[in-house]
Structure 1
Amino acid sequence: MFRFESPIYLWLLLLIPLLATVYYMSLCNYKKRIKKFGTPELIKRFSSTVSHKRILIKFILSEVILTLLVIMLARPQVGNRIASKKNKKGIETIIALDISNSMLAQDVPPSRLEKSKLMVENLMTKFSEDKIGLIVFAGDAFVQLPITSDYISAKMFLDNISPSLIGTQGTDIGKALNLAIHSFTPNSKIGKAIIVITDGEDNEGGAEEMANEAEKKGIKVFILGVGSKEGTTIPMPNGESLKTPRGEIVKTRLNEKMCKKIAEVGHGVYIHVDNTDLADVILNRELSKLQRGEINNVIYSDFDEQFQGIALIVILLLILESLILERKK
């Protein structure tokens, strides 16, 4: 099994296209300035020793080196020892967790997000022969953990979840459901469930269609609405409440009507999450009704760091980049 021990560093890969854009803009600016000195033929004669091709190659090498360094920071690992490998009867569950800013609201203590993470952790504790996957979403969605039987890794990924993982705000439940539908294994003889945990705010549309699509594929959809109908403010890391661009304090409420509608269209189940453990009880009861099928459980107990080979490539590329001169001999 391959994994990144610190996947949050992979966000630094956004620097790659940013630097490429800056390089392109500076190149265009350079060409504009150089035209002021004379015709292209004349400039070429007086700058015959300059190699623009070599400059481009050096930049590309720098981009590749930066990419590899970011991957090293994320600590790629490969499981080297199997703790257990056997066939059991279980189900497959994909959890889609809303991590938009509104999930920081504290109307469900300690916060909507922390309460949701606690529910997921409790669910993992009760799983023993099942597979679980984790998707996080806001205005966008991505797989935080592919479906697996390794609950230890799942809990580690769960601990690192925060709204900062996704820069696009909003609540695109449709995109999360679509991604979840395509994240299961091809095994058709096993019960499958998608658990969406959200406050239902700022829905981008398409959720009902995706819930209906999941129902057609035999996937049970559970919508867990977390928060209160009365609503509350959203505390930010700086200690202030979230405000609109006009300076008005944002108030967030559970959109229970929308959550129930998605569950109804997909012939699923809506569960309200409050300060009690009732939601956990109902969810566990509903999951126990799903068909249990043969699951090949492979769990790795030890993981080897894989940065050494990447570090060697980085050193070789650095040497190569330093040997390439910007000027022709």
Structure 2
Amino acid sequence: MFDKYIFEDPYFFWLFALFPLLIGWYIWKNNKQQATLKISSVSGFKYKKSFLVRLRPILFILRLLALSLIILGLARPRTVDVSSRTKTTKGIDIVMAIDVSASMLAKDLKPNRLEALKEVAAEFVKERPSDRIGLVVYAGESFTKTPLTSDKSIVLSAMNQIEYNTILENGTAIGMGLATAVNRLKDSKAKSKVIILLTDGSNNAGFIDPKIASELAMEYGIKTYTIGLGTNGMALAPVAILPNGAFRYERVKVEIDEPLLKEIAKMTGGKYFRATDNKKLEAIYEEINKLEKTDVEEFKFYNYQEKFRILVLIAIGLLFFELLLKHTLFRSFI
């Protein structure tokens, strides 16, 4: 209830330190005002304090309450309603180009490369509320899964639907995946244009050379971060489809064209990363998230409502009430 209240001048609370002195002064003065009579014996007197005598300290209590309210009023209690509005300058447009070839079902990442990527990439999308994001998928050919959009629910839904299928020609067309991503970004007016290209193999399909696609990205000022996905050495990967439609897995050598990925990143001003397990993949996306920051201005509006007036009015009321009692009910004791 009181968490919304703030005090503009809290140093007035030091005045409460005077209250023990006031109470001591009142007790001393009250004792001095009472007349005394010395006699040898009081056994013949029956004395009982009247009800009004017992209530007399209420005058002092009313005055202390009034002073307390005045001190609270001097401290200027107020409530504040804070509203904020954010303004984003031209943000960052990001296209994620994702390899969906059969090798992405390899189990060196858990549960497999593709599912591990989807989980990490979804978290990356959630942490980019001010940017537009698009998705491109590729194997032996490529297509746009989701055009650039600021609606993260659409991107996340499309990300969740990414899976290996036989619609795309098998293979790894890195050049085509990169070129399609460039095509999504070339007309963008964003202050920064970024491609995150992920693959677990080497360019062995498609009719666009990766170096030509890199030159296109460089011409349009598009930075490309490349990620090689896969463990070092051997990995359990699908090598054939059984008659029942399931994959037959064998341990095969992981072959990623790292020189090509490094060259693409270098030409476009990006950076190359190698993800050999789930944790490293997560760390890579966290680093890219830090490297590509969007400038966001936040404006805060404060609406103050002063609350000292009601306290002062109550204090004045208590003082008048004390004065009324003093000159009516307790008049004979003053």
Q: 1:100 to 1:91 in 2, by over 3 A?
A: same
Residue equivalent to 1:240: 248
Q: Helix, strand or coil: the match of 1:201?
A: coil
The CA distance in 2 between the partners of 1:229 and 1:254, in whole Å, is: 10
Residue 162 of structure 2 aligns with an amino acid whose one-letter code is: I
Q: Helix, strand or coil: the match of 2:248?
A: coil
| CA drift at 1:202 | 4.2
Residue equivalent to 1:60: none
Residue equivalent to 1:253: 255
The CA distance in 1 between the partners of 2:296 and 2:188, in whole Å, is: 9
Contact in 2 for aligned 1:93/1:131 (Cα 8 Å): yes
The CA distance in 2 between the partners of 1:292 and 1:174, in whole Å, is: 32
Residue equivalent to 1:206: 209
Contact in 2 for aligned 1:106/1:234 (Cα 8 Å): yes
RMSD: 2.5
Residue equivalent to 1:220: 223
Residue equivalent to 2:285: 280
Report how many aligned residue pairs link the two structures.
201
Residue 210 of structure 1 aligns with an amino acid whose one-letter code is: A
Residue equivalent to 1:93: 94
The CA distance in 1 between the partners of 2:218 and 2:295, in whole Å, is: 18
| CA drift at 1:180 | 1.0
The CA distance in 2 between the partners of 1:139 and 1:87, in whole Å, is: 42
Contact in 1 for aligned 2:109/2:230 (Cα 8 Å): yes
Pair 1:184 & 2:190 matched: no
Residue equivalent to 1:72: none
Q: 1:94 to 1:121 in 2, by over 3 A?
A: same
| CA drift at 1:199 | 1.0
The CA distance in 1 between the partners of 2:172 and 2:227, in whole Å, is: 14
Residue 234 of structure 1 aligns with an amino acid whose one-letter code is: A
| CA drift at 1:272 | 1.6
Contact in 2 for aligned 1:140/1:166 (Cα 8 Å): no
| CA drift at 1:188 | 3.4
Q: 1:293 to 1:215 in 2, by over 3 A?
A: farther
Q: Percent identity?
A: 30
| CA drift at 1:119 | 2.1
Residue 281 of structure 1 aligns with an amino acid whose one-letter code is: E
The CA distance in 1 between the partners of 2:153 and 2:122, in whole Å, is: 10
- Greater radius of gyration (CA): 2
Deviations 1:31-74, CA, capped at 9 Å, x for gaps? xxxxxxxxxxxxxxxxxxxxxxxxxxxxxxxxxxxxxxxxxxxx
Structure 2 residue runs without a partner (length 5+): 1-85, 298-334
Residue 268 of structure 1 aligns with an amino acid whose one-letter code is: G
Residue equivalent to 2:165: 164
The CA distance in 2 between the partners of 1:107 and 1:101, in whole Å, is: 14
- Map of 1:92-131 to 2, 5 A cutoff? 92-131=93-132
Deviations 1:4-27, CA, capped at 9 Å, x for gaps? xxxxxxxxxxxxxxxxxxxxxxxx
Structure 1 residue runs without a partner (length 5+): 1-85, 243-248, 295-329
The CA distance in 2 between the partners of 1:187 and 1:250, in whole Å, is: 41
- Map of 1:277-316 to 2, 5 A cutoff? 277-288=282-293
- Map of 1:114-153 to 2, 5 A cutoff? 114-153=115-154
Residue equivalent to 1:265: 267
The CA distance in 2 between the partners of 1:165 and 1:133, in whole Å, is: 22
Q: 1:165 to 1:157 in 2, by over 3 A?
A: farther
Q: 1:128 to 1:201 in 2, by over 3 A?
A: same
| CA drift at 1:293 | 9.7
